[in-house]
Chain A
Amino acid sequence: MTAVTDAPAVPQRPRSRVWTKLRANPSALLGAVLVIFFVVVAILAPLLPIPGPLETDWLAVRKPPSAAHPFGTDEIGRDVLSRMVWGAQASLLAGVVSVLIALALGIPLGVAAGYARGWTDAVISRVTEALLAAPFLILAIALAAFLGPSLTNAMIAIGLSAMPVFIRLARGQTMTVMTEDYVESARAIGLSHLAIIWRYILPNIFPPLLVQATLTVATAIIAEASLSFLGLGQQPPSPSWGSMLNIAKNFLEQAPWMAMWPGIAIFLVVLGFNLLGDGLRDALDPRDH
């Protein structure tokens, strides 16, 4: 049976088909380009030839865009481009980490509810509904205020607020997958609950969760900006798009560029994640398979 190990590679896997469909979708492609652009910029922040985000130049306070400062300077002479670049780190990190928190809590709870049903489901579902009754942003603000202002706490607050959506989605998807014949055949070969969840439920509920996660990153970035705008997120002097907007609102007439760049950046990165999410949804749609 040595022949087994060198079995030929499979020519076409489902994932490669998803790629093909994603590539053929111009708006998804645009979304991916936007997201990748911001991610690359955020990662390369320390390497870019820009001044430090905290370096002040008292000779160039609130200067409009120029050769020395392409995005202009802020109220204490810091380079806005540099703060934008470093701020991208905070925004993306907050977006991704908070969604990971939401997934890490939401998937186990949702799958448990959908798989076990009965009391487990009743308890988890009622709590989820209660959380969903509060608007996402209000909940995040309340939690962040409760936890205390910092970027980490903002991420936790946003993650917890986004969690109910994932619980509900994971629960519903689990219930759908549970009715599939292959789950019954898994039971018929005597697999344990854990093996069925791990190998049969999770892989099959993954696509819709991935789509929801991508879309939620966009929402989470807005939430982080909102919290930072309110002083509950990234703390000064560290840069974040939300806190930049907060300060810039005082200088809208004298230095509109201070508000313009963070606004544009938030718009573009949110657009990017939304387009990518929509594209993923179309590409992963099982009805086309």
Chain B
Amino acid sequence: MPDDAAPLLEVTDLSIRFGKAPTNLVDGVSLTLERGETLCIVGESGCGKSLTALALMGLLPMPPARLMSGRAMFEGRDLLHLPIAELKDIRGDRMAMIFQEPMTSLNPAIKVGEQIAEAVRRHRGASHEEARARALEMLMRVRIPAPEKRLDEYPHQMSGGMRQRAMIAMALANDPALLIADEPTTALDVTVQAQVLDLMRNLQAESNAALIMITHDLGVVAEMADKVAVMYAGRIVEAGPVKAIFDDPQHPYTIGLMSSMPDLGPRGGRLVTIPGVVPPADAMPEGCRFASRCPFAGPDCAEAPPLSDFGGGHRVACWRAPLEQAAEPLQTLGGAR
């Protein structure tokens, strides 16, 4: 057993490149996660958050993907350099993943109960009956109504929310220590979203599993996270406790992200957007990757800023941090209010 003082998962300097691309799509990502903790990775599409998750699960197709550097220590073993057979033993057992699309993530040709049971049989060597009993127990735990009946249904007979619950049941069937959820609620209705998030939180509390939640929905972050990592163009630009990130965002990208979130109440004008687009992988600037869209960018931004700690575990990769006043530059960032 690994020593208990070490964090459950410690990722250091993870870099991934695709094919012959000149730059890393995931660049120097470092994360730590304790037991029972929830880390939300936020960022727009293509920022590398899903790649990071898939790399941890060992699900990235290599090639074309190439691991440039990095270690991911999980319960004393480096996930990134583990023999595939060992990785397969961990996957679905000690760590599990929930995917974005519940409609397509279940095998349409197998009954839902059998799919859950499969994960149990694979890792626990359980008999058919034991695995089936466990599947039923899991369906109850994810609060699917009439679980005895659902056990023998095919995925197409279930609604999206119910399928996502079934996916969660499958992922948690072997009590993993680490659960990675890649946008688990994006494909669901808003009301169902809330239920599924609620469910995940309860199950996590019961099992003390750590959760990495990948999302672009800041509402989900506020609801779920203990810690947040904001990713932009393959790098973590800001990370820290959820309260620090929401109350006192330091990186211009995080500030932009926060202000582009619509809030309820009287309309204060147009939604704030961040001008420009993410630089393409073959034209990634040398220094700060956000510089081309940043209202604060200066000549020093040609050199990449390190992810420095500004107290309380709040880390920011920006030469301008810590910011004194966000109000003035926000005007510039968001355009006409």
Interface residues of A in 199-234 (CB under 8 A from B): 199-200, 203-204, 206
- Interface 1/0 per residue, B153-177 and A, CB below 8 Å: 1101100000000010011000000
Contacts A14-B154, A190-B123, A192-B88; A182 near B108 (Cβ below 8 A): yes
A184 contacts across to B, CB distance below 8 A: 59, 99, 105
B314, CB-defined interface residue at 8 Å: no
**Chain B, residue nearest A207 (CB):** B109
A181, CB-defined interface residue at 8 Å: yes
**In-complex Cβ contact of A182 among B91, B107, B171 (8 A):** B107
How long is the Cα–Cα vector from A8 to B167 in the complex, in angstroms?
A: 22
Query: Tally of A-B residue pairs with Cβ under 8 A?
Result: 101
A190 contacts across to B, CB distance below 8 A: 88-93, 119, 122-123
Do A189 and B132 have beta carbons less than 8 Å apart? no
Interface residues of B in 100-157 (CB under 8 A from A): 100-101, 104-111, 118-119, 122-123, 129, 132-133, 136-137, 148-149, 151-154, 156-157
A13 contacts across to B, CB distance below 8 A: 154
B153 contacts across to A, CB distance below 8 A: 10
A186, CB-defined interface residue at 8 Å: yes
A287, CB-defined interface residue at 8 Å: no
B225, CB-defined interface residue at 8 Å: no
A289 contacts across to B, CB distance below 8 A: 156
Do B122 and A191 have beta carbons less than 8 Å apart? yes
Q: Which of B96, B107, B153 is most buried by chain A, counting CB atoms within 10 A of its CB?
A: B107
A8 contacts across to B, CB distance below 8 A: 148-149, 152
**Chain B, residue nearest A8 (CB):** B149
Contacts A14-B156, A188-B92, A188-B96; A204 near B108 (Cβ below 8 A): yes
B170 contacts across to A, CB distance below 8 A: 185, 189
Do B92 and A189 have beta carbons less than 8 Å apart? yes
B106 contacts across to A, CB distance below 8 A: 182, 185
Contacts A4-B148, A7-B149, A199-B110; A188 near B57 (Cβ below 8 A): yes
**In-complex Cβ contact of A189 among B91, B101, B149 (8 A):** B91
Do B97 and A4 have beta carbons less than 8 Å apart? no
Do A200 and B136 have beta carbons less than 8 Å apart? no
Q: How far is the CB of B62 from chain A (nearest CB, A)?
A: 13
Q: How far is the CB of B227 from chain A (nearest CB, A)?
A: 23
Do B91 and A1 have beta carbons less than 8 Å apart? no
Do B107 and A191 have beta carbons less than 8 Å apart? no
Q: How far is the CB of B186 from chain A (nearest CB, A)?
A: 13
A47, CB-defined interface residue at 8 Å: no
B93 contacts across to A, CB distance below 8 A: 190
B88 contacts across to A, CB distance below 8 A: 190-192
**In-complex Cβ contact of B104 among A7, A181, A186, A192 (8 A):** A181
Do A4 and B91 have beta carbons less than 8 Å apart? no
B89 contacts across to A, CB distance below 8 A: 190
A55, CB-defined interface residue at 8 Å: no
Do A189 and B105 have beta carbons less than 8 Å apart? no
A195, CB-defined interface residue at 8 Å: yes
Q: How far is the CB of B213 from chain A (nearest CB, A)?
A: 16
How long is the Cα–Cα vector from A66 to B159 in the complex, in angstroms?
A: 65
Interface set of B (CB-CB < 8 Å, partner A) = 57, 59, 88-93, 96-97, 99-101, 104-111, 118-119, 122-123, 129, 132-133, 136-137, 148-149, 151-154, 156-157, 167, 170-171
Query: Which 3 residue pairs spanning A and B have beta carbons closest together?
Result: A189-B92, A203-B109, A1-B133
Q: Identify 16 residue pairs between A and B in the complex whose beta-carbon atoms are under 8 Å apart, listed by A's number.
A: A3-B136, A4-B148, A8-B149, A10-B111, A14-B108, A181-B101, A181-B104, A182-B105, A185-B99, A187-B59, A187-B91, A188-B57, A188-B99, A190-B90, A190-B91, A190-B93
